[in-house]
Structure 1
């Protein structure tokens, strides 16, 4: 396991609204050393998948080719979150300057109903929304990856999928991360299903570190997709197996749901922060809107003057986060079904009105904060990977099964684990989901709707050129983790490795607690408590996979030290 240092205290001081500090790219002077390359860079949660992506780049593929190869490889090497049976989002900046978003979020089956996750007393039943066959939405990953490859890639599908097929058929050696997750999380869901147990168990125990995981059925499914494209998943044998599995056990996904699924290309959410351009995922992700909303609030303060890790800087960010998460609870949902007030939420004027409510010396209780009046302003387990190629194409992908191993259900003979993304809907307005997030009517369950997500693949540009590619898993903490990567690099002048190593904090409005990782000064914690923050110190959050591009085109990558077996690599 990597060792990482988290006791940073940078005493930086700049004038209010001054240009951000220049980022040093001199590795010899860095406290933490990013990986350096000229021709391409990949950062993912799994070393094998990262090397697959780098090999595709070496073979002449572009960043999209490599990203698709990594996405399929992670379905084999990182089954906790890498997937064919889930969904996610992709942010893409092409070498020609186009920035676009691909939404391959799961959709609720056509037979889904508003109160399907309530018990006979009208209360939300988390077992229904997390571990039953009802918990799965119609998967989007295969549609999303093939859409991206067909429109923006340069290599054929069967070529970029060959590494994943080989890994599934020949097997991989179980690493620390997979062994730990099989033991800690997999034991709760996988052994309950014969198909899953046959893959991930040996006798009466989960596979252990050093043992070989062979996924023959998954290899066959991958081969079908490589030969026949997305139709193999949504209309062929795989679809038949998924529909049959659901019908046998009370699930709702049927062949019509699968055949009717479409990935959607959307216009990214865009913001400007201290001279940088922020492009992030639009709804049904809440991440892009609220990252920009929080940045807009914080632009009214000189964070660099207070310094990284100071009580005052944390106070400002935490209070801004409360307002954003309160708005999330009311206004965010699937834009194909509800009107999301994106312009108001990302308005600089609205942000200024919220900034004026923030007291540097007093934490406002969450009970005193609610969703804002927008009328005047109208006009855990997930995985992320980032890829940049020598031509300047940049890709950020976050995709997931939702919780670790999803439902734990493998559909028939496909070898494909199914998601439990239906839990991301608001089963009952005001009732928190598994991540403690509160939602409202805008995110209620409905046929063919896409559940609200916090996944936040993000691109930061400077003068029209890619400057930072980042994203993270972490459920409700994704938004604040990605936010801090932006703040650490722009406001506090950190390189990509320093920004990844720095300790993190999080506030999501409800519950009213300020969560800190270990590593912050006891004096900082004491001062925050004096301001009225309900401080709790909890385990590490996030697993960022990030790439920074220097003005001369040099690529710097960093895999998050909170994860084991992840890797940033280039050539």
Structure 2
């Protein structure tokens, strides 16, 4: 039952090291030793995608550029939880513009129903990057295209997810060819993987923007495949796929303003309920002086509010964040509504389609996407940008970090961040600033990466 899962996940607080990658000029980090403000920070569940985000920042990209580049890279290196066929939520905090906004591009049902969701992520990332990015669109998409065409080595993060999704992979020819060996077992860490069809799709997106995905040859192949499988994604569905720009929910904890997904979304409603219950728990001393116990209580109460009693082990989601040296911060959480989404790849595109939200428990995946920004004011840099994703434990873990930060505690190491306890299915990743020190903290129990781009020497 999900109540037991939430309690074990948050209260167990398993502390294990994540993996690291040598990034050369980009520092693999659980903290920045110098008090100099870094050029930028990136964090996420899959190391090679985080490397792309950090490299984007090193090239002068904004946090929005880096987050968009990480998403496209994840669609190649971590397709079990992020893909062109899925969707999600991002929150952007830009003190230079004195604003914090939300981009909602969750996967939705096709007009005629069916098992496949109408993808929203490409549209959402393009809109966000166009409004807050510094770099040309091509530079944001091309690293992912390079991974897909030239190949990438399977990371431990991906290998861990492949091991638990063999039954899904075996049902799709494209996924089987990419991720299973000749004996039908998941390929091991370090195995090189290419995806020429996906590379071609990313090339179309690079050249034509979102229209290269939703229209033209790629869109035709997606709708034709869906029709042949009874999935009902039409050309009209793809053409109507939009990203909404909205105002996130704002609340105050201590001296910080907390920005969560809008309460108009399931994600915002659940995260807001956790924060509200946590505030009451701490005010009334329900958890005693134990903040951890208060977070567990708040999460369980939120689950009761929404009558959630059971969930699949893996909802196919991931979260990531980026900060740049101008103070812009972006936190994103995306989902495929299940591991590898529907488990069906549209022929000739390399695009695995997300499950339709109405397909049973798949619809609950978006409720646990919890990108979060915490800042003293809208015109000041964030002190926290992060995301819980994958389930209620992810939301609980980011809520714990928020409570610590707003209470004035320092979170400068992975053990301070804590973990969901059920990684890699539910994870928490965060960028945290305390005074003049900023750190990138991946989930302690997962195999992600936190990376800092050192300040350039003058």
Question: Under a length normalisation based on structure 2, what TM-score does the superposition of the two structures give?
Answer: 0.83
Equivalent residue, structure 2, for 1:83: 83
Cα pair 1:225 1:231 within 8 Å, conserved:
yes
Compared with structure 1, are the counterparts of its residues 247 and 87 closer, same or farther at alpha carbon in structure 2 (3 Å cutoff)?
same
2:374 aligned residue (460, 464, 485): 460
Aligned equivalents of 1:149, 1:502: Cα separation in 2 = 31
Cα pair 1:385 1:545 within 8 Å, conserved:
yes
Equivalent residue, structure 1, for 2:433: 549
1:191 aligned residue (156, 170, 176): 170
Equivalent residue, structure 2, for 1:471: 387
Pair 1:306-2:220 in alignment: no
Aligned equivalents of 1:239, 1:454: Cα separation in 2 = 29
Aligned equivalents of 2:297, 2:171: Cα separation in 1 = 43
1:490 is displaced (CA, Å) by: 3.1
Equivalent residue, structure 2, for 1:201: 180
Compared with structure 1, are the counterparts of its residues 136 and 477 closer, same or farther at alpha carbon in structure 2 (3 Å cutoff)?
farther
Pair 1:60-2:60 in alignment: yes
Secondary structure of the corresponding residue to residue 410 of structure 1: strand
Equivalent residue, structure 1, for 2:330: 395
Aligned equivalents of 1:412, 1:218: Cα separation in 2 = 10
Aligned equivalents of 1:275, 1:295: Cα separation in 2 = 16
Cα pair 2:14 2:445 within 8 Å, conserved:
no
Equivalent residue, structure 1, for 2:453: 570
Pair 1:109-2:110 in alignment: yes
1:246 is displaced (CA, Å) by: 1.0
Secondary structure of the corresponding residue to residue 367 of structure 2: coil
1:108 is displaced (CA, Å) by: 0.9
For the pair shown, the structure with the greater C-alpha radius of gyration is: 1
1:501 is displaced (CA, Å) by: 4.7
1:48 is displaced (CA, Å) by: 1.5
1:74 is displaced (CA, Å) by: 0.9
CA RMSD of aligned residues (A): 2.7
Pair 1:34-2:31 in alignment: yes
User: Which shifted more, 53-62 or 391-400?
Assistant: 53-62
Aligned equivalents of 1:317, 1:542: Cα separation in 2 = 16
1:482 aligned residue (394, 398, 412): 398
1:289 is displaced (CA, Å) by: 2.3
Cα pair 1:217 1:414 within 8 Å, conserved:
yes
Secondary structure of the corresponding residue to residue 135 of structure 1: coil
What stretches of structure 2 of length at least 5 have no aligned partner? 1-11, 16-28, 310-314
Cα pair 1:34 1:556 within 8 Å, conserved:
yes
1:476 is displaced (CA, Å) by: 3.2
Equivalent residue, structure 2, for 1:323: 301
Equivalent residue, structure 2, for 1:369: none
1:482 is displaced (CA, Å) by: 1.8
1:546 is displaced (CA, Å) by: 0.6
Aligned equivalents of 2:59, 2:142: Cα separation in 1 = 13
Secondary structure of the corresponding residue to residue 276 of structure 2: helix
Secondary structure of the corresponding residue to residue 446 of structure 2: coil
Cα pair 1:50 1:569 within 8 Å, conserved:
no
Cα pair 1:384 1:397 within 8 Å, conserved:
yes
1:305 is displaced (CA, Å) by: 6.9
Secondary structure of the corresponding residue to residue 453 of structure 1: helix
Aligned equivalents of 1:539, 1:161: Cα separation in 2 = 28
1:264 aligned residue (235, 244, 249): 244
Compared with structure 1, are the counterparts of its residues 59 and 471 closer, same or farther at alpha carbon in structure 2 (3 Å cutoff)?
same
Compared with structure 1, are the counterparts of its residues 482 and 565 closer, same or farther at alpha carbon in structure 2 (3 Å cutoff)?
closer
Secondary structure of the corresponding residue to residue 457 of structure 1: strand
Compared with structure 1, are the counterparts of its residues 239 and 396 closer, same or farther at alpha carbon in structure 2 (3 Å cutoff)?
same
Cα pair 2:82 2:316 within 8 Å, conserved:
no
Pair 1:167-2:147 in alignment: yes
Cα pair 1:193 1:408 within 8 Å, conserved:
yes
Q: Deviations over 1:104-163 (max 9, x none)?
A: 101111112xxxxxxxxxxxxxxxxxxxxx332101110000000111111111111111
Larger fraction in strand? 2
Compared with structure 1, are the counterparts of its residues 60 and 297 closer, same or farther at alpha carbon in structure 2 (3 Å cutoff)?
same
Equivalent residue, structure 1, for 2:260: 280
What stretches of structure 1 of length at least 5 have no aligned partner? 9-31, 113-133, 331-365, 367-379, 428-432, 438-450, 505-516, 518-537
How many residue pairs were aligned? 415
Aligned equivalents of 2:295, 2:47: Cα separation in 1 = 33
Compared with structure 1, are the counterparts of its residues 204 and 281 closer, same or farther at alpha carbon in structure 2 (3 Å cutoff)?
same
Equivalent residue, structure 1, for 2:217: 237
Cα pair 2:161 2:424 within 8 Å, conserved:
no
Compared with structure 1, are the counterparts of its residues 403 and 493 closer, same or farther at alpha carbon in structure 2 (3 Å cutoff)?
same
Pair 1:422-2:357 in alignment: yes
